[in-house]
Amino acid sequence: MITAHGIQSYAWLLVAIPAASALILLTLGRAADKWGHLLGALVPVGLFVYAVFLFFSVKGQSNRKVDLHMFSWIPVARFRVDAGLLLDPLALVFVLLITGVGSLIHIYAVGYMAHDPGRRRFFGYFNLFVAAMLLLVLADNYLAVYVGWEGVGLASYLLIGYYYTRPSAATAGNKAFFANRVGDVGLSIAIMLMFAYFGTTSFAGVFGHFGHGGNATTGVATAIALMLLLGACGKSGQFPLQTWLPDAMEGPTPVSALIHAATMVTAGVYLIARSAPVFDATSAARTVVTIVGAITLLYGCINGAGQDDLKRVLANSTVSQIGYMFLAVGLGPGVYAIGIVHLLGHGFFKAALFLSAGSVMHAMNDRIDMRRFGGLWRVMPITFFVFVCGYLAIIGFPFATGFWTKDKIIEAAFDKGGTSGYLLGIIALVGAGLTAFYMTRALVMTFLGKRRWEPDVHPHECGPVMWLPMAVLAVLSLVGGWLLIFGGGVQEWLTPSVGPSVEAGVHTVSKPVLTAITLVVVALGIAGAWVAFGTRTIPEEQPQNVTVVTRASRRNLYADAFNEAVLMRPGQWFSRALVFFDNRGVDGVVNGLSASFGGGSSRFRRLQSGFVRSYALSMLGGTVAVIAVLLAVRFQ
């Protein structure tokens, strides 16, 4: 760890500038309406440029961990929290992703929100989001991570509920908020555990207790790790807290892109990767992480196949892709970096997919029902091209991004060895096939086939402010994966943060064979979707005589129903019981307490009646009491 110098010592600006910009946009009011969006979009671009310089500055050092101490936050006695930033490879990778992809989405949003009267407010929230997310990844202690974490939660609540006049948007905002709260409780408990056991919350301090020469027991490690995992599940939309994520599509599309591709949902993966030393110390927690990842990745795939809402398909694909990342980081030492690489690749292609979906929505008068799309490739060639690039990337088409990043995860799952390794590997493989299936379905229903448009829509290609960022992302979707893994670049770069990447060694299934199997599975998925949706006419209404699987998939695999029955109902009963208790119990206690002050409720009421004489009497009583206490203590 070395101290920051040169341009590194200005890293705090990464958080301060977007925060200041958000403050300006949200407080200036209508005075900033004219130029607010420009400021809002300029900020992440500027930050990205700075982040690139910062990256090379840190890269040029032998020790790639830079500590930037800012100030002592709460220095009372033993409780001491220093606010500082940690510029290490992991943090910088995230900073580049957030500012880079974030910039493109910001620019896109300038066009997308052009006709929205609240555009300035929107960019204010957007910058707030970026500030919170950057604080989250740059902080050098868990408490500051928590602050960023809460900030991200707040900003996402504001953004998802951006159309707050729409009840569904408000509900979705609340749902995201509550799911996140559940996760936050986990994170805060983890932080309390750290403080209780180690007396510190800084990364360096906490990690010093793990690994060689550490004194933390496996039990402590498991407890902390599981609580961190709960936090990560809330933020990243993982099982069992995954249901808020598809609902979060209620926000404007750039929000979905930002939340899903570049920022919020990746926070959970970041947290686990960041806490690698803790997870390394407990195989039990790692196993839970892999199980959560595996369940979520299947859940997302199956759900995605039944949705008619294009954005919901993509949302479910996010759930499943994050499941892959969890699976990777759960596989333990040596595989963290692979998860992060997939996260970066996913950032590119998911942003491309979302932005092109937004472009489609824009063209179709904000409708997102794929049953009423079709044949759009002819009128929106650029959007189609971008979507195809994203599509190729996500299904793992040879040499596109997913091919390099996702297949490594499948490989790593098999490499875990034993029955569990095979199980996880097969799940990951099945997931890849399902991904190909539902993405092909989405592609076919949206862009190919016959036009099933509603009569009043006249789709058109979007303007250059929107398609230029999309095009950049499309190119990245195609070649980004190759760039990321070229010569083990990113994995090697991440070594100081998460340990060396172990790819070499014995493979359970030899690499070419596995690649071939994967491609066959993917091809089967594509073929299945093509047969089901490409060769037949797609009904404009949802057919009702469908299989159980489809029905379940449409209902989010009954997760909402499950939540309602298991969490919400008892919650409502509980709160009703509380109200009852409040009326009978607390009020009784309150009244009783009140009464006891005046020695009987009637006299007490009289004391509160506003008469000066009563007040004076109470003062006199108090005076006598004070004298009595003082004298009694003195002459006891």
Partner 1 sequence: MTHLLLAAGNTAVSTPSVSYHALAPIFIVLGAAMLGVLVEAAVPRAERFTVQLMVTIVGLVAALVVVGLLHGTRTTTPSPTGNDAFFAGSLSIDGVGLFLQGTVLALALVAALLVSERSVDVGSPIVASAAVVVGSADDRRLTTADRVQTEVFPLMLFAVSGMLIFPIANNLILMFVALEVLSLPLYLMAGLARRRRLLSQEASLKYFLLGAFASAFFLYGLALLYGYADTVDLPGIFTAQQTSGKSDVLLYTGLALLLVGLLFKASVAPFHNWTVDVYVGAPTPVTAFMASCTKVAAFGAILRVLFVGFSSAEWNWRPVIWAVAIASMVVGAVLGLTQTDIKRILAYSSIAHAGFILVGMVAITKQSTASVMFYVLTYGFTTLAAFGMLMLVRDPDGEATQLARWSGLARKSPVVATVMTVLLLSMAGIPLTSGFTGKFYVFRAAWDTAGPLVVIALLSSAVAAFFYLRIVVMMFFAEPPVDSPTIAIPGWAASVALTVGVVVTIVLGVFPQPVIDLASKASYFTG
What residues line the site for partner 1 (CB under 8 A)?
Answer: 26-27, 29, 71-77, 79, 83, 147, 164, 587, 590, 593-594, 597, 607-608, 610, 612, 614-616, 618-619, 621-623, 625-627, 629-631, 633-635
Gap between the Cα atoms of 432 and 405, Å rounded: 12
**151 vs 300, which CB is nearer to partner 1?**
151
Q: How many CB atoms lie within 10 A of CB 523?
A: 14
Angle at the Cα of 601 from the Cα atoms of 597 and 603, rounded to 5 degrees = 80
The least distance separating partner 1 from the CB of residue 158, rounded to whole angstroms, comes to 9
**450 vs 634, which CB is nearer to partner 1?**
634
Q: Phi and psi at residue 302, in whole multiples of 5°?
A: -65, -40
Label each residue of 317-341 as H, E or C: HHHHHHHHHHHHHHCCCCCHHHHHH
Structure tokens at 549: 């699987």
The least distance separating partner 1 from the CB of residue 610, rounded to whole angstroms, comes to 6
CB 67 within 8 A of CB 83: no
One-letter amino acid of 498: V
DSSP 249: G
The least distance separating partner 1 from the CB of residue 74, rounded to whole angstroms, comes to 7
Structure tokens at 199: 């007396």
Structure tokens at 7: 């341009």
The least distance separating partner 1 from the CB of residue 627, rounded to whole angstroms, comes to 4
The least distance separating partner 1 from the CB of residue 628, rounded to whole angstroms, comes to 8
Structure tokens at 441: 């379905």
Angle at the Cα of 295 from the Cα atoms of 289 and 300, rounded to 5 degrees = 120
Strands across the sheet containing 79-87: 2-3, 66-76, 79-87
Structure tokens at 5: 């110098």
CB 495 within 8 A of CB 501: yes
The least distance separating partner 1 from the CB of residue 300, rounded to whole angstroms, comes to 31
**59 vs 166, which CB is nearer to partner 1?**
166
One-letter amino acid of 388: V
DSSP 432: H
Q: Phi and psi at residue 400, in whole multiples of 5°?
A: -85, 170
The least distance separating partner 1 from the CB of residue 601, rounded to whole angstroms, comes to 13
**53 vs 615, which CB is nearer to partner 1?**
615
The least distance separating partner 1 from the CB of residue 28, rounded to whole angstroms, comes to 11
Q: How many CB atoms lie within 10 A of CB 461?
A: 16
**53 vs 164, which CB is nearer to partner 1?**
164
The least distance separating partner 1 from the CB of residue 106, rounded to whole angstroms, comes to 22
Gap between the Cα atoms of 613 and 627, Å rounded: 21
**27 vs 537, which CB is nearer to partner 1?**
27
DSSP secondary structure string for all residues of 43-85 = HHHHHHHHHHHHHHHHHTSSS--EEEEEEEEEEETTEEEEEEE
**568 vs 590, which CB is nearer to partner 1?**
590
**72 vs 602, which CB is nearer to partner 1?**
72
**548 vs 612, which CB is nearer to partner 1?**
612
**548 vs 633, which CB is nearer to partner 1?**
633
How deeply is 631 buried, as exposed, middle or buried, from its count of CB atoms within 10 A (0-12, 13-18, 19+)? exposed
The least distance separating partner 1 from the CB of residue 167, rounded to whole angstroms, comes to 12
**157 vs 210, which CB is nearer to partner 1?**
157
The least distance separating partner 1 from the CB of residue 259, rounded to whole angstroms, comes to 21
Token pair 């909402």: residue: 560
The least distance separating partner 1 from the CB of residue 92, rounded to whole angstroms, comes to 24
The residues near 168 (Cβ < 8 Å, ≥ 6 apart) are 250
**77 vs 506, which CB is nearer to partner 1?**
77
DSSP secondary structure string for all residues of 111-153 = HHTTT-TTHHHHHHHHHHHHHHHHHHHHBSBHHHHHHHHHHHH
Structure tokens at 166: 């729409």
